[in-house]
Amino acid sequence: MSDHEYTPKSKAGKWFNDRLPLLTLANHLTDYPTPKNLNYWWTFGGILTFCLITQIVTGLTLAMHYIAHADMAFESVEHIMRDVNYGWLIRYIHANGASMFFLAVYIHIFRSLFYGSYKSPREIIWIIGIIIYLLMMAAAFMGYVLPWGQMSFWGATVITNLFSAIPLVGEGIVTWLWGGYSVDNPTLTRFFTLHYLIPFLILGLVVLHIWALHVPGNNNPVGIDIKKPSKDTVPFHPYIVIKDGFALLMFMIVFAFFVFYAPNILGHADNYIEANPLVTPAHIVPEWYLLPFYAILRSVPDKLLGVVAMLSAILILAVLPWLDTSKIRSAVFRPLYKQFYWILVADVLILGYMGAMPAEGLYLLIARVATAYYFLHFLVILPVLGLKERTIPLPLSITEPVLGGSPNMAMAKKKESKLE
């Protein structure tokens, strides 16, 4: 938070600001002191905001033409693709936008894991982030149901059926979720309603996420606390705005490539077959971004325990700030953690791959090992590592060298004096 008091220059501005301090807010946002050493992994917050707004705007437009009815949903999507002006463009942006959103959020999450951004004093930012991520998964899943294709229908059947694993009340809950005795029209209409609601919940949480961020300020690649404002920081505008803008444009090029040249590559062909409760697809596969959790679900032989494992895999992230016992944030200064970090990345990628394969033979075996390792990482490796690991000495500030003994010290000094 910038500490200086802000007073608008004009009289009218002052009059307004005394009653509703929007100008103070705007001033805070533009002046917000940001560490100057943020790398491009830090640009994904802005990119994610763009993704959310894109999904809301295209989604609103689609909702004007979409019909949430089991007999008409599939046809109304084809109506959008064929008869609505630029309907194909809006739908392809929305469908691929979901994938882009998850791509960005995974980079954002793994950036946080690498640089320890979830640690004190940023636990609340992190937990709000995990709630946003959970809501994103719910929204994406329900959105995938709306075209009422084969994967929509059978995906909805599989996922809602998970609740039947709950002892005693499970079956009742599933009937209640469906609004009947199978996935049908009542399921579709409530999914549509919730799919429409959730993005606005996410928007509200994003405001809280940013608010909570602006209290301690950004973490940075070095992971040390810095004085704000100081020579280690730059004002958000124009420095970070232009940098985020540049990164966003690069992201948009990738996004545009998918929308215009491979709009269906991330989807499943079966979803262009209208939902048919009498024909089960050969393989029921969720969208790519849910695959690691799907693999965890299937690697546990017991249904209830599988569901518990899948949910724990996500919820364990919420307590991560307390599982990681190391006081050092950035993996740059944690040689051992850095290696385990990359193993975790590989582990999640392997889980994702296994989620797309049939759950049998070697695939199942690897999925089980990877699932076990996933939990081992968070429950054993992280707590122990924080206590045992010998870390590299931290520098005093972003611009100043490490206290004593750093090989880069002389060089850093030279650079400093040159600039003065």
Q: Any contact of residue 243 with other proteins (CB under 8 A)?
A: yes
- Which residues lie below 8 Å from residue 409, measured CB to CB, with a gap of 6+? 401, 402
Q: Any contact of residue 84 with other proteins (CB under 8 A)?
A: no
Considering only the stretches 63-71, 87-95, 152-160, 387-395, report the one whose residues sit in contact with other proteins under the rule CB under 8 A.
87-95
CA distance 105 to 334: 24
Q: Any contact of residue 71 with other proteins (CB under 8 A)?
A: no
Q: Any contact of residue 391 with other proteins (CB under 8 A)?
A: no
CA distance 350 to 219: 29
Considering only the stretches 15-23, 121-129, 136-144, 235-243, report the one whose residues sit in contact with other proteins under the rule CB under 8 A.
235-243
Considering only the stretches 25-33, 193-201, 254-262, 381-389, report the one whose residues sit in contact with other proteins under the rule CB under 8 A.
254-262
Q: How far is CA 246 from CA 29, 51, 106, 250, 414, in A?
A: 19, 15, 20, 7, 31
Decide whether 129 or 149 has the Cβ nearer to other proteins: 149
Q: Any contact of residue 261 with other proteins (CB under 8 A)?
A: yes
Q: How far is CA 297 from CA 18, 271, 355, 369, in A?
A: 55, 23, 9, 13
Give the nearest distance from C-beta 361 to other proteins in angstroms: 8
Residue from 121, 172, 204, 238 touching other proteins (CB under 8 A): that is 238
Instruction: Give the position of tokens 């940075």.
Output: 220
* Tokens of residue 92, six digits: 């392809």
Residue 66: φ, ψ to 5°:
-80, 145
CA distance 163 to 178: 11
DSSP-based three-state secondary structure for 277: coil
Residue from 7, 230, 339, 408 touching other proteins (CB under 8 A): that is 339
Residue 118 DSSP one-character state: T
Give the nearest distance from C-beta 253 to other proteins in angstroms: 5
CA distance 34 to 230: 10
124 CB-side CA count, 13 A = 14
Residue from 48, 125, 198, 259 touching other proteins (CB under 8 A): that is 259
Q: Any contact of residue 257 with other proteins (CB under 8 A)?
A: yes
Q: Any contact of residue 283 with other proteins (CB under 8 A)?
A: no
290 burial via Cβ count (<10 Å: 0-12, 13-18, 19+): buried
Give the nearest distance from C-beta 244 to other proteins in angstroms: 10
Q: How many beta carbons lie within 10 A of that of residue 95, not counting itself?
A: 23
Q: Any contact of residue 319 with other proteins (CB under 8 A)?
A: no
Q: Any contact of residue 250 with other proteins (CB under 8 A)?
A: yes
Count of residues in contact with other proteins, rule CB under 8 A: 46
Q: Any contact of residue 252 with other proteins (CB under 8 A)?
A: yes
Decide whether 388 or 415 has the Cβ nearer to other proteins: 415
CA distance 306 to 162: 9
Q: Any contact of residue 253 with other proteins (CB under 8 A)?
A: yes
Q: In the window 17-46, what residues touch other proteins (CB under 8 A)?
A: 36-37
Q: In the window 137-196, what residues touch other proteins (CB under 8 A)?
A: none
Decide whether 212 or 222 has the Cβ nearer to other proteins: 222
Instruction: Give the position of tokens 């929007």.
Output: 22
CA distance 198 to 359: 32
Considering only the stretches 75-83, 180-188, 201-209, 320-328, report the one whose residues sit in contact with other proteins under the rule CB under 8 A.
75-83
Give the nearest distance from C-beta 243 to other proteins in angstroms: 6
H/E/C letters for each residue in 309-348?
HHHHHHHHHHHHHHHCCCCCCCHHHCHHHHHHHHHHHHHH
Report the interface residues with other proteins, using CB under 8 A: 36-37, 75, 78-79, 81-82, 88-89, 92, 234, 238-239, 242-243, 245-246, 249-250, 252-253, 256-257, 259-261, 263-264, 269-270, 272-273, 282, 338-339, 342-343, 346, 349-350, 353, 357, 362, 366, 415, 419
